[in-house]
Amino acid sequence: MPTGASSTDTSVRVAASRPAPVDGPVRTVARAVADVGHLLRFRLGSVRRPWLAVVGIAVWLLASGAVAVLPAYAPGAGPNGDGLDVLLVLPSAMAGFIVLSAVAAAASGGGRELLARDPATIHPVSPTTDHLGALVLAPLNIAWMIQAWALLGATSYAVGSEYVWGAQPIIALWLVLGTALGQVLAWILEGVRRVPHGISFIRGLNVVVFGVALGLQLAGELASVFDRVPTRYLVVSMVEVTPDRYIPTLVGLALACVLAVALGAVPAHIAAHRVPRDELRVEAGSYAARPLPSSDLVVSVRTDRASVWRAVPMRRGLLVLALGPAAVALLGDLDWSTMTILPGLVVSGGVLLFGVNVWCLDGRGALWRESLPTSPTTAFDARAYVLAEFLLTASFLTVAVASLRAGPPTPSQLAAMLGATLVVTLQVVGAGMRWSTRKPYAADLRSARATPAPPAVMVGYSARLALVTTITGLTFSLFSQAPDPLVPLLLAVPMAAWSTARLLRVRRAWSDPVVRARVVTTVAAA
Amino acid sequence: MTSPHAEPVVAVEGLHVRFGEVEAVAGVSLEAYAGQSTALLGRNGAGKSTTMRVLAGVVPPTDGRAVVAGHDVRREPLRVKQSVGYCPDVGGLVPRATPWEHVQLAARLRRLPSSDPDWEARARDLLERFELGDVAHRVTAGFSHGMGRRLSVVLAALHDPAVLLLDEPFDGVDPIGVEATMAVIADARSRGACVLVSTHLRELAVEACTSVSVLRRGAQVATMAASEMTGEDGARAYRGLLD
């Protein structure tokens, strides 16, 4: 009869103390790639409507294919027509794609997670897997998609039907390379953020980079810098399709992609072994007691404000969203008429930080808050107010910085800006509260890498928001030329009324206890 | 157990709660009385927490009737919320608010400043008893599970509610916290409050409560005096009810 091992059995002690075999680099990478597959399948298994995901992917592929090919057959396309103008700016656009990828990944603390941090802690998920997962999720971002489509479409139009089939593989590889390089930069920045004084260093670096860019722009040298970017070689390869240039270009790009993807794992490992200082500071931080607020609404607003402004992703996101477009406006010397599209851009990005799943701010405290004796509309009003306040702060910051170079506006331009800001804020708050109530998700927003809803859902939300707010911004841009400033204000009245009516409809829905119970039990499961 | 001379403070009759296809509670009936504490025992998914959520006015019943402190949970949820103090089973804390901010939110919404001028002193005393005084101004996101549970009990007991609902109050809590929770339950009973405690921990349940209701697969299968659940015999009886 077999018995348990004796405590004096030396063979057992030797086996227990022997270190586990360490995988070599090839096995480690193979394991990381396999783990990405497992995590992806796990995530896909939790998709609520798989058929919709399949339709979404099919539409995305068809749209990308159409964008990549059709402009080549448009009138004027090609280097011998109007396409030449586009061809000349293509190297700069390609370089800009890397900047966008790096900013998006850095703003989200190294990119999105395939598995949220808390559930991931029980699994042996390596930083390499995490890095590869962030790369896979990078395209599930409306800014990435629009930039990628813009590059594909611009290339198609620039090279024309004669070269399009050869040019697009180069652009496709460039999109992969740009995303991977952006990810490398983002992991390096995240690693630096996590050393003592790292956050201050990164902030200083941002100021220096922006200052240099602004200085070059004011000196009229920015265009010549863009003209010297090395992506010119790739653009020339698109229209000089000779075997001794084209094939080596493709092979070189493919190798660079592999190298960049592999390289990203190094800073990802370094960052993973450092403590996220900003999150730690928030979680260990003390906040002095303040006097008791005077009303239910004020105390609810104060609690909701704490949930927003003490969260790392929200603070970091607000700065990126507010200052990014403002920097572009400054560098591009936008006038007030064009600036009316900025509030829409900023608020539709800002609401994606938490506003599309606004009840998840309470996390597991949602059940307790729902048990408190107050009117449900008070809780709704507080949440909508805090969301609007957050979005308006970001918009104000953007417009204030952008206006430094635009000079004083005309009364009509000022009225158009105010109208646009009011209307897009109401539109976006209404949409955010509606989606939060209809489709709540259990989301923990402690980490800068967290999103309030699954990435694919976020893409749908951002596309719809971008469409509505861009149209609104362009409409007010047209009316900013009106001779009477009352005209844009009168335009704002019906639009604001319509958005307010929609917001009030959601407020009525929130009064239904069955609706609230579904929402709070869902978000409390985070 | 039941008191033939008193009206129940909590009366549940044929309670059903459905979430889509899932029937979380399937016909629970129970009564709980002032000055008494009742334990809800049962395995995971037995319907204990959902029953507690209904009694707290957080989840409306799909069918059946639940009356808390004389108020129907379906028709008067706000009155029910005014009468109860609820410690939810999961977390129960807003992650980026401090304990004192939780206390202030509860105090404001429960009108404590007008009903009890000394509420701040009492709140501080409760925090101290649960050894949370030192962290009263730290955000709760950094709290351990046990600290979170202890704060949830403080928030439930803060306003001396007529009905105290504690869902898994001992889960992951250290002996000091368990003692403080037991004291809160005893205090509540002594001032005539009705206490309901949902837990997996039979031994703590019989120590804290006067009666026990056992739920299985969403339905109530037994109600008995807590003394019948003590010792080895009680453990065997409990196991028998779970299978």
* The three-state (H, E, C) secondary structure of B29-81, written as one string: EEEECCCCEEEEECCCCCCHHHHHHHHCCCCCCCEEEEEECCEECCCCHHHHH
Is A388 exposed, middle or buried, given 0-12, 13-18 or 19+ CB atoms closer than 10 A? buried
Phi-psi region of B103 (alpha: psi -120 to 50; beta: other; left: phi over 0): alpha
**pLDDT reported for residue B26:** 87
Of all residues in chain A, the one with the smallest CA distance to B104 is A292
Of all residues in chain A, the one with the smallest CA distance to B79 is A373
Report the residue from A295, A303, A446 with minimal CB separation from B105.
Answer: A303
Residue B66 has pLDDT above 70, yes or no: yes
Residues of A with Cβ-Cβ distance to B101 under 8 angstroms: 287, 302-303, 306
Within chain A, how many helices (H) and strands (E) appear? 22, 0
**pLDDT reported for residue A258:** 95
B142: CATH: 3.40.50.300
Domain span at residue B175 reads: 10-242
Distance between CA A367 and CA B54 in Å, rounded?
A: 11
Distance between CA A301 and CA A4 in Å, rounded?
A: 62
Identify the CA nearest to A301 among candidates A381, A369, A363.
Answer: A381
Of all residues in chain A, the one with the smallest CA distance to B83 is A373
Mean pLDDT, to the nearest integer, of B164-186? Answer: 94
For residue A422, give every residue at least 6 positions away whose Cβ sits within 8 Å of its Cβ, in sequence order, or none: A492, A496
Quote the tokens at residue A316. 């970091």
Quote the tokens at residue B50. 């959902």
Q: Between the CA atoms of A261, A266, A269 and A274, what dihedral angle is there, to the nearest 10 degrees?
A: -130
Report the residue from B82, B92, B96 with minimal CB separation from A368.
Answer: B92
In the chain, the amino acid numbered A375 is S
The residues that bridge with B163 in the sheet, in sequence order, are B84, B194
The residues that bridge with B166 in the sheet, in sequence order, are B87, B197
Distance between CA A126 and CA A46 in Å, rounded?
A: 22
Phi-psi region of A78 (alpha: psi -120 to 50; beta: other; left: phi over 0): left
**pLDDT reported for residue B2:** 46
Distance between CA B191 and CA B182 in Å, rounded?
A: 14
Give the count of alpha carbons within 13 A of B243, CB side only: 6
**pLDDT reported for residue A375:** 94
Residue B40 lies in a domain: yes
For residue A32, give every residue at least 6 positions away whose Cβ sits within 8 Å of its Cβ, in sequence order, or none: A126, A128, A129, A132, A265
Distance between CA B165 and CA B92 in Å, rounded?
A: 13
Whether the CB-CB separation of B211 and B239 falls below 8 Å is answered with: no
Identify the CA nearest to A168 among candidates A64, A82, A89, A62.
Answer: A64
Contact between chains at B152 and A300 (C-beta distance less than 8 A): no
Report the residue from B53, B81, B139 with minimal CB separation from A283.
Answer: B139
ipTM over 0.90: yes
Residues of B with Cβ-Cβ distance to A374 under 8 angstroms: 109
Identify the CA nearest to A224 among candidates A60, A91, A400, A356.
Answer: A91
Helix/strand/coil percentages in chain A, nearest 5: 75, 0, 25
Contact between chains at A520 and B58 (C-beta distance less than 8 A): yes
The residues that bridge with B211 in the sheet, in sequence order, are B38, B225
In the chain, the amino acid numbered A97 is F
Residue B4 lies in a domain: no
The residues that bridge with B22 in the sheet, in sequence order, are B19
In the chain, the amino acid numbered B153 is V
Whether the CB-CB separation of A493 and A418 falls below 8 Å is answered with: no
Distance between CA B29 and CA B221 in Å, rounded?
A: 10
Q: What SS3 state is found at A286? A: strand
Distance between CA A226 and CA A217 in Å, rounded?
A: 11
Looking at beta carbons, which pairs linking B167-171 to residues 24 or more positions away fall under 8 Å? B167/B48, B167/B49, B167/B52, B167/B86, B167/B87, B167/B88, B167/B89, B167/B198, B168/B49, B168/B89, B168/B198, B168/B199, B168/B200, B169/B87, B169/B197, B169/B199, B170/B199, B170/B201, B170/B204, B171/B89, B171/B145, B171/B199, B171/B200
Please give the sequence-ordered ranges of beta strands (E in DSSP) within A3-136, or none if there are none: none
Q: Does A369 touch chain B (CB under 8 A)?
A: yes
- The count of structural domains within chain B is 1
Residue B154 has pLDDT above 90, yes or no: yes
For residue A211, give every residue at least 6 positions away whose Cβ sits within 8 Å of its Cβ, in sequence order, or none: none
Residues of A with Cβ-Cβ distance to B94 under 8 angstroms: 303, 306-307, 361-363, 365, 368-369
**pLDDT reported for residue A18:** 63
Window 429-488 of A: residues touching B by CB (8 A cutoff) are 444, 446
Looking at beta carbons, which pairs linking A496-504 to residues 24 or more positions away fall under 8 Å? A496/A422, A496/A423, A496/A426, A499/A423, A499/A426, A499/A427, A499/A430, A500/A426, A500/A430, A502/A430, A502/A434, A503/A384, A503/A426, A503/A429, A503/A430, A503/A433
Q: What SS3 state is found at A206? A: helix
Residue B162 lies in a domain: yes
Residues of B with Cβ-Cβ distance to A307 under 8 angstroms: 94-97
Q: Does A311 touch chain B (CB under 8 A)?
A: yes
Q: pLDDT tens, position by position, for chain A (526 residues)?
A: 444 444 445 554 555 556 666 677 788 888 889 999 998 888 887 777 778 888 888 988 999 999 999 999 999 998 888 999 999 989 989 998 998 888 888 888 888 888 877 777 788 888 999 999 999 999 888 888 889 999 999 999 999 999 999 999 999 999 999 999 999 999 999 999 999 999 899 989 988 988 898 888 888 887 788 778 888 899 999 988 787 889 999 999 999 999 999 999 999 999 999 988 888 887 778 899 999 998 999 999 999 999 999 988 888 889 888 988 888 888 888 899 999 999 999 999 999 999 999 999 999 999 999 999 999 999 999 999 999 999 999 999 999 999 988 889 999 999 999 999 999 999 999 999 999 999 999 998 877 788 899 888 898 898 899 999 999 999 999 999 999 999 999 999 999 999 999 999 999 999 999 999 999 999 998 7
CA A353 to the chain's CA centroid: 8
Q: Between the CA atoms of A148, A149, A153 and A159, what dihedral angle is there, to the nearest 10 degrees?
A: 20
In the chain, the amino acid numbered B165 is L
Q: What are phi and psi of B84, to 5 degrees?
A: -105, 160
Contact between chains at B58 and A300 (C-beta distance less than 8 A): no
Please report where in the chains the tokens 């609404």 appear, as a residue.
A297
Give B107→chain A minimum CA distance, Å.
Answer: 9
Residues of B with Cβ-Cβ distance to A292 under 8 angstroms: 104, 107-108, 113
Give B79→chain A minimum CA distance, Å.
Answer: 7
Residue B3 lies in a domain: no
Whether the CB-CB separation of A303 and A385 falls below 8 Å is answered with: no
Please report where in the chains the tokens 């936008």 appear, as a residue.
A334
Whether the CB-CB separation of A179 and A98 falls below 8 Å is answered with: no
**pLDDT reported for residue A2:** 44
Query: What sign has the CA pseudo-torsion A476, A478, A481, A485?
Result: negative
Residue B223 has pLDDT above 50, yes or no: yes
Strand ranges of the sheet holding B71-72, from the earlier edge strand across to the other edge: B22-32, B10-19, B63-68, B71-72
Other Cβ atoms less than 10 A from the Cβ of A200: the count is 10
Contact between chains at B94 and A524 (C-beta distance less than 8 A): no
**pLDDT reported for residue A309:** 92
Contact between chains at A307 and B59 (C-beta distance less than 8 A): no
Report the residue from B93, B94, B109 with minimal CB separation from A374.
Answer: B109
Q: Which of A408-412, B31-35, B115-119 has the lowest mean pLDDT?
A: B115-119
Mean pLDDT, to the nearest integer, of B186-212? Answer: 92
Contact between chains at B60 and A300 (C-beta distance less than 8 A): no
